[in-house]
Chains A and B, each alone.
Chain A
Amino acid sequence: MIFFIVISVLLILALVVFISLIIYRYQQKQNIYFKDIEALKTSHQNTLLQSQLEIQEQTFQHISREIHDNIGQKLTLAKLHLNTLNYTNTDKTIEQVNDSVNIISEAINDLSDLSHSMSSEIILNNGLIKALEFEVAQLAKSKIYKISFTAGGEPIFMDAHAELVLFRIVQETLNNIIKHAAASQISIDLHYDKTLLTMQVNDNGRGFKVNEAVTGTGLQNIKKRAAALKGCLHINSKINDGTQIKIEIPLYANSTNI
């Protein structure tokens, strides 16, 4: 009987020690793992913040350029019209005033468009898809481009900052197309998988040599922003055969529930 009790107690003690040891080792590993995750999250947030500051700086530059080159010019022209009014010639005066009103209206519209495209409110309030739809509609208004936008898969709400960075990537890409590509067709495709968001912007413009262009500021910005979202950037382009820019963003790193 004593033999049974002693052996049983020893075995049970061994079991308890073994279970405690396993749980202790596992929890040690778990603590290190969670610390790593936390550090990774902090570093990710820092990169995102840095990227946002860069975006802000570029936005200011863009606003300044738009005001100086476009709205400023129009207002100057309107002022010129109004300054040269000849009150003796009523017909010409009416024509000049009407022209001035038209120019000022255009300037107001441009200002409104600029304000809308620069604001992050649309992203915060309506999400990435709506913001892109708006951006596409704005560009379609110019009637220079045949532009399409599709969103596939089951949309997953990402972190608002991440969505903003993604939105700025599209804006930068569209800006590059407008400035350099001389394209007539643009398509933007967004596809949500369970773990991956794929965004593709295609144009039928003049294309470029990828190796030579990756050092350009525009593409560097896109690359940096994609990296801030832990994403991958793939650029395919051939001279006179359009350009395809594909960005893959892991959703687990940017979803709202991190």
Chain B
Amino acid sequence: MYKFIVLIGTGIILIAFFFAITYIKKRKPDYFKYIFLYLLSGLLISANTIMANTSAWILKNTKSILIEQVLILLQSLLLGKFCLGVLKESVYAKKIKWLIYLMILTQIIFIIIVHTENIEIRPSISSNLILLIFCSYYFRNLMTNEPTLILVKSSAFWIFMGIFFSSCIGFPVGTLTQFIPKYGEYGHVRSQIFSIFNVSLIFLYLFIIKSYICLKHPQNL
């Protein structure tokens, strides 16, 4: 099940990347450069996961996990920069800047803890939580500003929806990881929970595709 979801996810990332390439020359908001890099790092994470599951992969499991965590750190930074790009005119811009620093710092600390103390925790929980805060800023901004947007045609809206969905699922999953047994009677629950998390990530990539499609219409942010 888990591998199947990973394969589907990789396919969706490839399609999203294809859209990013197709729309590379089209005039678009500045924050799309972060989304392009996000897709690129998503592809690298997928490649790393697929290779880690093949016996021919030369790197040890711990190194593969470290690579994945560093790439997730990069992705969190890129999503943070994207949020800052969208909300740069809002009153939250300064807070977002500081929260990005906090997010990166805590994630680095978590990565170090995971690799030195052997505690099982997903370092991305801090970024999930902080990205949820960014989403709340976006929604608040959306509801307090003049409602001149056509939401269904707004790229930023769909990306924020994807971030919101994946972070909503990613945060509890990441926090509860160490409490879910790996083996035994309920061992399969773990892989299913991670599959749900991966499905939420697939939705994020689907919404990124939708945001690229929205570029056909003039963007009024």
Residues of A within 8 A of B (CB): 1, 3-4, 7-8, 11-12, 15, 18-19, 22-23, 25-27, 29-30, 33
Contacts and interface: CB of A to CB of B under 8 A. Distances in A.
Given A7-B192, A26-B151, A33-B146, 19 more contacts: A1-B192, A3-B192, A4-B192, A7-B196, A8-B196, A11-B165, A11-B169, A15-B161, A15-B165, A15-B203, A22-B142, A22-B151, A23-B151, A23-B152, A26-B142, A26-B143, A26-B147, A30-B147, A33-B148
B139 interface: yes
Contacts of B139: 22
A25 B143 contact: yes
A8 B143 contact: no
A29 B151 contact: no
A22 to B, nearest CB: 7
B189 A29 contact: no
A4 to B, nearest CB: 4
Contact of B161 (A1, A12, A19, A25): A19
B8 to A, nearest CB: 12
Interface in B2-36: none
A128 to B, nearest CB: 29
Nearest to B164: A18
B74 interface: no
Given A3-B192, A19-B161, A33 B169 contact: no
Contacts of B143: 25-26, 29
Contacts of A3: 189, 192
A4 B189 CA distance: 8
A177 to B, nearest CB: 41
A143 B138 CA distance: 63
B46 interface: no
A31 to B, nearest CB: 9
Contacts of A25: 143
B64 interface: no
Contacts of A18: 164
Contacts of B200: 11
Contacts of A8: 196, 199
Interface in B166-216: 169, 189, 192, 195-196, 199-200, 203
B220 to A, nearest CB: 12
A26 B165 CA distance: 19
Contacts of A11: 165, 169, 196, 199-200
B56 interface: no
A19 B164 CA distance: 10
